[in-house]
Structure 1
Amino acid sequence: MSDRTPEHTFSDLVAGYVTAYDRDRSIVDLRTSDGRNLRMTITETTSAEFLRNLGDPYLDASAHVDDLLRPGRYLYAHGIFYPGRGEESFMVRRLLFLGRKPGDFNFEEHGWWARQLGELARFYRRAQFGTKNPVDYADYRTILRLGGDKSDHHVQETDTISRLVYGMASAYMLTGDEDFLGVAERGTEYLRRHMRFVDRDEDVTYWYHGVDVRDGVESKLFTSDFDDDYDAIAMYEQIYALVGPTQTYRVTGDPRISTDIESTLRLFKNFFHDEQRGGYFSHIDPILLSPDHESLGHNKSRKNWNSVGDHAPAYLINLFLATGDKRHADMLEETFDLIVEHFPEDGSPFVQERFHADWTPDRTWRWQQDSAVVGHNLKIAWNLMRMNAIRPKKEYVELAEKLGRSMPEVGSDQWRGGWYDVVERTLREGETAHRFVWHDRKAWWQQEQAILAYLLLAGNTGDEGFLRHAREASSFYNAFFLDHDEGGVYFNVLADGTPYLLGNERLKGSHSMSMYHASELAFLSTVYGRLLLHGEPLTLWFKPRPDGFPDRVLRVAPDALPPGRVRLDWVEIDDRPCSDFDPVAMTVNLADATGDVVVRAHLSPVED
């Protein structure tokens, strides 16, 4: 029996697990993620295909449908509901299979995510710089059209360059492609020369919102030009200015990057940090460097998820991985303790995301009001588990698991698959589902947060439910966000997975999108999948400078992983075996290196 009876003809997508297939009647019974049942009819015109990665050719499966429709298989079915046909009302037009047999998922193949990251890096390199070598960041443009063509928008935003740099540095770590590292290093240098302002009086560094480049003339944009943050210094823009340089620092140890990061951290401590009540203000006035000046308007004396929590995923965990510095672990601990203390609300499945200075929830701020960004809840769960690997606390795990268990029902599409954007935090009287604030579209970055949250929850706990959510989220992302025609990934798709290609959401580069989330997803899905879930080794590349890392120790842990789960098996320096490493701490001694060296670090999961 079907749990959905149509009253009019409409097309839709259904995601679920095959429970039965009657070949003679061409009837398939499907069970959705939340246990609803649907009976589908296969027709003579039903087509089928296998999931494919970026850069892979189309692989037709239409001739094998009878053999592939086996109980237990998770799949996607596009079709049309017809009224008046009872339980056989859904006529399937297209099937998407995720693997060769039940329980198989193509994205769990050994090299899937690494290949995807390489394709992403080649797309953005080609779109921004063509075939130039070395690349010239004077050519960089924030706005990229669907196919990667540049617009005539001339503002080079600091954060989007930094996000591109992150992606390129990550691609080098996973593939060893020197071209990607060259793009990352040139981008980092461009940020230092054109987007950085060193205030020697205050001994801090600021990062410009961007630079307007016209006819070879640069105009610096000191304060944000984005509507939510206009004419203020926004904490999240300063945070994301560090995302690319920090990832590059992990690879090279460039001391100039370290100096910039430390100087920016002094900016955060001296002017954004609330010394009395803890946490970081979201904005400061550009003249007086004050968080409570009237000029800030709706951003006066405010704190939010981005200003408090985004330090961790953007740069701070990676900085700690690169340095092992206790100060950075202390800062991480402070922010996550504050999240555990102030963000949850009794009786609500969602966290609170915006606050006044005294941590009173702010439910009237501009577009957010009393709504929940689904991806922020997932991002908190993911990063709490990372923080628990650095300084374990039961409160971190409890909140992460609580969010992991509550989010699917209130934030995911359990009929079609995928994760929604922004929903109302409070149920209206008589309703059982949280209303969408604007639409039911699904954004690429929110899928990333779901995938990483559930991969890490599953990798830490062994919970099959978390693993199922990770696989379902990975399935939807790989099925509907990869642009096989133009390259890169789509910003948004409709509820049924159709790309949404209007306005800013048709772009591959914008204020909101560069290379960061898609590359972070590919990098960390490789790390979590291989090392925590599938028992597979992982090789990473580094290229430390002779003056890199003050203690001359290269730290190669790929992420904040559960202690004792991963070890460093072998190391090569310039293709020669190296024995001077610590397998447990995952460190390599570089004291004897007198020039740039290429380090290959081979990591393996520790068997129970």
Structure 2
Amino acid sequence: MPLHGFTQTMTLAGQVVSVDPAKPAFCLQARSGDVYEVVVGPSTNYQVMTNLDQISRDRVPDPDGAPTDDGIRFALAKYIAIGRPLFVGGIHQINGQATSFEARTVYLLHSAPTRWLFEETHWWLVQVTQMADRILDHLFDSRRDYTIDDFSKFYRTDLNILGQPTNDTVQECAVLSRLLYDLSTAFLITGAERYFLAARAAMRYLRQAFRSSSHDGEYCFWAYGRRRNVEGEKGESLFFASQGPDDQGTIPLYEQIYALAGLTQYYRLTLDADVLEDIRRTINTFQAFFHDPPDATSKGFAGKGGYYSHIDPVTMRPDSIALGENFRRKNWNSIGDHIPAYLVNLILTLDPLPQGTARGPLDKLLRCCISILEETTDLIVEKFPDPKSDYVNERFHDDWTPDHTYRWQQNRAVVGHNLKIAWNLTRCASYFQMRSARRRALGQVQDSAADSERASRCLAVARSLGDRMATAGLDVQRGGIFDCVEREPTNGMPIQFAWGNTKDFWQQEQGILAYLILHGATPGNGQYLGLARECEAFWNLFFLDRERQGYYFRTTEDGLPIIDGQYGMKSSHAIGYHAFELAYLAHVYTRTFVAAGDGADNGFSLHFRVLKCAGQTSINVLPDFMTPGRLTIQKIIANGVDETDRLRSPNPDDFQISLADLAGDTRDGTISLVVQFDAIEPH
């Protein structure tokens, strides 16, 4: 039955397919194929997308020959052109057979109709600096140097929407580690001293306040958090077991994994041997207490591969009945989160094996990391896809039987997890292709072929998920990525939402990075770049909190921020991690995989502050897993001096730089290194 008197505020995304100055109106075609007539009028305003710096980027030239005495038609001629991608916010009305969509805000993505602001050289750098400065200002006010005591006194996991402390004084280890990742990443791509100083203090406090070593020193666990007493007896309480709602009283593996996220990124910058030792001992913990290899049957485990999601802090086993619904379980976090949280960055730093006296221990650690990467990617490829659903299974019993009864998840999919798998399997495919090329050059024909086959399997699953999420996870009318959906819809629709049709910030990151890297992995296929741009546009238009130089955790389907309750907090995961990871890798992927055009270059630079030591006398600087022939080092600046001719390898696929002959700073012994990269256009 037709609707009568129906009105709705609505956002549309698409491409202009026709313009009718007489009405005045234009037609916008969404990715769904639907075409909407968009009527403009005196209440329509046109905006070119802005960044967190709020600088107006409207440089659209006035049109020749347009009627200057008619402001509505003049603006239509100025801003609307056939083929231009747009987002439009307006009012949709239905009354019987009559429909109308009147534009209130028309969002342009660049002043030029065929360009995108988020592909400019500086776009993501602006986001990083704005966010990092505001986070540090919120926590430490005007300080520009930082100590352990500063983090002990001022750091809080929970901040309100204005960045001010709440009544909860908790300091969560995994969230502080994410902040360490943010600060390390901000330094990596900007070289700003403030971020390095803050990262160094955060690293020291993290290691001092939350690290728990085993009696023999071989294993390292990380406490959930600390809470300072605000009344009565002075001091603070340490919580070793998790206080999270799904993990109460347990040691969840994903919290231990994310304790390494910041430490590993910091290690990439500095080669700090003490930090690496904590990383090594934490990985020992994963292997000894959570891992389920075939010979684990001797301990009473299933022996089916992968990692248990939780262990009991008393028995230190995954099969304690005290774990409740987490008894003998495996899930996406316990298998897949190893890859983005620490494995990629650690393997990038250790492979190829660094020079120096520590090559033996580093080789042992590298072999362990590669074995984890191989096992987890194989399991994701083999166990997670479901032929009966567009979405992967995310939770399992320890024999890999899918678990569709777990608490809130039931038989539901988190769209972002599907895209996270697509992103990380594509990264891993690049690594295996890179290793295949090395082995082929060494005459290791069978090993090279095995790596090539493993890469093909990873990429096939990644592409399948990317293709399916384009319609089963992305909003084909408005852009953006939905949250939680039913894996097997029963409502006769392509998507059935578990709760609301809302969109969360971290899932936008997964989609953007998945489609950017899939574009890089499939040269000549423009589909993935189109999807990446659609997701990037939604993020940059609707998730950025321009007033407070941050971002919103959740929006409505139309991109309106939701700030009720916990969603208005600048806390926990929302303090930055996914946004900084997005900015860093979107910057790298765009510079590497997307042709700049218009005379711009495809270069970028990374900054390192290396602790000089005999154990490691070289540094690997490849930004992410890349197939051979995609990047090359253009320039190397060491301690302010151009050392390119002396330090750059003649092999363009060699990203290891010798530090042996470089002097450390007399104050702190560090070597400052700036590496400039250029992308190589695929053949």
SS in 2 for 1:334: helix
Q: 1:296 to 1:5 in 2, by over 3 A?
A: same
CA distance in 1, matches of 2:287, 2:5: 60
| Residues 53 and 130, structure 2, Cα contact 8 Å, conserved in 1 | yes
> 1:509: Cα distance to partner?
1.2
| Residues 41 and 92, structure 1, Cα contact 8 Å, conserved in 2 | yes
- Pair 1:427-2:497 in alignment: no
Cross-structure match for 2:603: 537
CA distance in 1, matches of 2:574, 2:108: 29
Alignment partner of 1:160 out of 167, 175, 179:
175
Higher alpha-carbon deviation: 359-368 or 345-354: 345-354
SS in 2 for 1:598: strand
Q: Bigger radius of gyration, 1 or 2? A: 2
Higher alpha-carbon deviation: 556-565 or 366-375: 556-565
> 1:132: Cα distance to partner?
1.8
| Residues 271 and 616, structure 2, Cα contact 8 Å, conserved in 1 | no
Cross-structure match for 1:182: 197
Residue-by-residue CA offset, 1:432-491 (whole Å, 9 max, x unaligned): 322111111100000000000000000110221101000000000000011111121100
Alignment partner of 1:348 out of 371, 381, 389:
389
Higher alpha-carbon deviation: 573-582 or 107-116: 573-582
Cross-structure match for 1:445: 506
State the AA in 2 paired with 1:253: L
- Pair 1:267-2:304 in alignment: no
Alignment partner of 2:562 out of 493, 500, 506:
500
Q: 1:87 to 1:570 in 2, by over 3 A?
A: farther
- Pair 1:588-2:657 in alignment: yes
State the AA in 2 paired with 1:283: H
Cross-structure match for 2:53: 55
SS in 1 for 2:429: helix
CA distance in 2, matches of 1:5, 1:499: 28
- Pair 1:390-2:431 in alignment: yes
SS in 2 for 1:164: helix
| Residues 39 and 88, structure 1, Cα contact 8 Å, conserved in 2 | no
| Residues 211 and 218, structure 1, Cα contact 8 Å, conserved in 2 | yes
Q: 1:599 to 1:59 in 2, by over 3 A?
A: closer
Q: 1:52 to 1:5 in 2, by over 3 A?
A: farther
| Residues 171 and 519, structure 1, Cα contact 8 Å, conserved in 2 | yes
Percent identity, please: 37
Alignment partner of 1:200 out of 215, 221, 227:
215
CA distance in 2, matches of 1:255, 1:64: 60
- Pair 1:575-2:575 in alignment: no
Q: Please, what TM-score do these two structures have when normalized by structure 1?
A: 0.96
SS in 2 for 1:242: helix
> 1:263: Cα distance to partner?
0.2
Residue-by-residue CA offset, 1:290-315 (whole Å, 9 max, x unaligned): 00100000001000000000010011
State the AA in 1 paired with 2:390: P
| Residues 46 and 79, structure 2, Cα contact 8 Å, conserved in 1 | no
Residue-by-residue CA offset, 1:61-107 (whole Å, 9 max, x unaligned): 89744222111111111111223385661111111111113221111
SS in 2 for 1:570: strand
Cross-structure match for 2:323: 296
Cross-structure match for 1:605: 679
Structure 1 residue runs of 4 or more that deviate by more than 4 Å after TM superposition: 4-7, 58-63, 85-88
> 1:231: Cα distance to partner?
0.1
> 1:562: Cα distance to partner?
1.9
State the AA in 1 paired with 2:95: G
SS in 1 for 2:308: coil
* 1:108-507 to 2 correspondences below 5 Å: 108-135=119-146, 136-138=150-152, 139-201=154-216, 203-214=218-229, 217-275=235-293, 276-324=303-351, 325-392=366-433, 393-428=455-490, 431-462=492-523, 463-507=525-569
SS in 2 for 1:44: coil
Number of aligned residue pairs: give it.
Answer: 602
Residue-by-residue CA offset, 1:273-328 (whole Å, 9 max, x unaligned): 00221100000000111001000000010000000000100111001111113432
> 1:592: Cα distance to partner?
1.9
SS in 2 for 1:152: coil
Cross-structure match for 2:355: none
CA distance in 1, matches of 2:82, 2:6: 30
| Residues 198 and 206, structure 1, Cα contact 8 Å, conserved in 2 | yes
> 1:508: Cα distance to partner?
1.4
Higher alpha-carbon deviation: 556-565 or 365-374: 556-565
State the AA in 2 paired with 1:249: Y
SS in 1 for 2:315: coil
**Aligned CA-pair RMSD:** 1.6
CA distance in 1, matches of 2:261, 2:6: 49
Cross-structure match for 1:94: 105
SS in 2 for 1:102: coil
Residue-by-residue CA offset, 1:219-258 (whole Å, 9 max, x unaligned): 1100000110000001000000110111000000100110
Extract unaligned runs of 5+ from structure 2. 61-71, 294-302, 352-365, 434-454, 597-601, 665-669
| Residues 234 and 283, structure 1, Cα contact 8 Å, conserved in 2 | yes
Higher alpha-carbon deviation: 389-398 or 279-288: 389-398
SS in 2 for 1:13: strand
SS in 1 for 2:550: coil
Cross-structure match for 1:80: 91
State the AA in 2 paired with 1:592: D
State the AA in 1 paired with 2:511: A
Higher alpha-carbon deviation: 452-461 or 325-334: 325-334
State the AA in 2 paired with 1:381: A
SS in 2 for 1:593: coil
State the AA in 2 paired with 1:116: Q
Residue-by-residue CA offset, 1:365-397 (whole Å, 9 max, x unaligned): 111000000000000000001001111421101
Higher alpha-carbon deviation: 101-110 or 25-34: 101-110
State the AA in 1 paired with 2:660: A
CA distance in 2, matches of 1:170, 1:6: 53
| Residues 420 and 443, structure 1, Cα contact 8 Å, conserved in 2 | yes
CA distance in 2, matches of 1:91, 1:39: 9
Cross-structure match for 1:554: 619
| Residues 39 and 87, structure 1, Cα contact 8 Å, conserved in 2 | no
Higher alpha-carbon deviation: 567-576 or 474-483: 567-576
SS in 1 for 2:42: strand
| Residues 628 and 653, structure 2, Cα contact 8 Å, conserved in 1 | no
Q: Please, what TM-score do these two structures have when normalized by structure 2?
A: 0.86
CA distance in 1, matches of 2:479, 2:252: 34
Residue-by-residue CA offset, 1:345-378 (whole Å, 9 max, x unaligned): 1132111100000000000011100000000000
> 1:530: Cα distance to partner?
0.2
State the AA in 2 paired with 1:184: A
State the AA in 2 paired with 1:588: I
CA distance in 2, matches of 1:370, 1:233: 25
| Residues 631 and 679, structure 2, Cα contact 8 Å, conserved in 1 | yes
